Structure 1
């Protein structure tokens, strides 16, 4: 853990500056915990073990409480998810100096009847993982999106991720009580 702490700090110095107050920065901070532990373990933690660890972290009770109030089965829940993503996109509009390195938000309210859809074609975590030789670890971070959706009583449907070589990361959230809307 001591070497992971040092590695974490060094990683923060090597990622593109996306803005310290970027509301999406928490994705970097969380992912770097896993990246640094994985790298510091020098092969003693496998990708599958890291997957188990990430599930344990995301199911931590205090974390579950943070998103407990969002229920994607209610219109207010989908609106809350949408509002949060629009707020994140607005931050980027207000800080254009980070547009070349931060997530780019692309919303499409017409793509699906149910839920909320958006996608990214740019992700600083993807760029970092490719530069740092951590592309094998990045899909574990992408999988955490599904666990987060579950905390909000949602299903996340996804066809592509940048980590798997796709041209975008897509997010389609619907309530988890809705029959498969595809």
Structure 2
């Protein structure tokens, strides 16, 4: 089926992005013989619209920046792929796919260096701007600590639609693959993310961000927990 033929409420939901479609179809081609690929892709599409059939209708549709490439709806599409193709895929593959969707914007910003005061403040301002957009839509409940030049940036989410979706559909096992690319994104701008929990394995998703030469990161070493999350020691 073509994307414009899928039956879901487009006044409140959006179709997965074109880059997401390419990622999923590419992995289907990797795992299945040619004669099965169209059938598998259609099953993924049907799973996607099935998931949207009883999903929240208040996430802003195309107006909400969180619903773009690598965002909320692409994550639902990746979970649709995982559901249909669980016997052939793995969490490492899902993380790779989300990274290919989420990270291109950061790869264009390799000139940014969060060790430098100018860029640290600029990144903080970007997070503060994101909070205003979150407040508008009420999807990600976000708070941002006041800026302090000698301390790391701190913000947190206490609600995340992707984590909410995963909990509802018993897909929490996929969440490390969708959360971990946050670390890679920060590394591309010479920063370090220090995070002890997420909305999917705790009560909040905490983001402490410092330069990659900052002693703060060294004091909170990273590890991978038993579920596959990249995390830091408190």
Q: Say yes or no: does 1:19 pair with 2:52.
A: no
Tell me if the contact between 1:24 and 1:88 (Cα under 8 Å) persists in the aligned partners.
Answer: no
Number of matched pairs? 174
Which residue does the alignment assign to 2:179? 142
Q: Tell me, what secondary structure is at the counterpart of 2:192?
A: strand
Q: Deviations over 1:158-178 (max 9, x none)?
A: 0111211x1110001111122
Question: When the two structures are superposed, what TM-score results if normalisation uses the length of structure 2?
Answer: 0.64
SS at match of 2:65: coil
Residue pair 2:94, 2:178 contacting (<8 A) in 1 also: no
The corresponding residue for 2:163 is 126
Residues 34 and 70 from structure 1, CA distance in 2 versus in 1: closer, same or farther, beyond 3 angstroms?
farther
**1:44 matched to 2:88:** yes
When residues 147 and 104 of structure 1 are mapped into structure 2, their CA distance, relative to the original with a 3 A threshold, is same
* Cross-structure match for 1:7: 47
RMSD: 2.7
Say yes or no: does 1:157 pair with 2:194: yes
5+ residue gaps in structure 1?
Answer: none
Structure of greater relative contact order (alpha carbons < 8 Å, 6+ residues apart):
1
Residue of 191, 205, 213 corresponding to 1:177: 213
Task: Label 1:72 to 1:44 Cα distance change in 2 as closer, same or farther (>3 A).
Answer: same
Establish whether residue 168 from structure 1 lines up as the match of residue 204 from structure 2: yes
Give distance in 1, aligned partners of 2:54 and 2:124: 31
User: What is the CA–CA distance in structure 2 between the aligned matches of 1:13 and 1:113, rounded to whole Å?
Assistant: 48
- Does the 8 Å CA contact 2:192/2:212 hold for their aligned counterparts? yes
Highest Rg: 1 or 2? 2
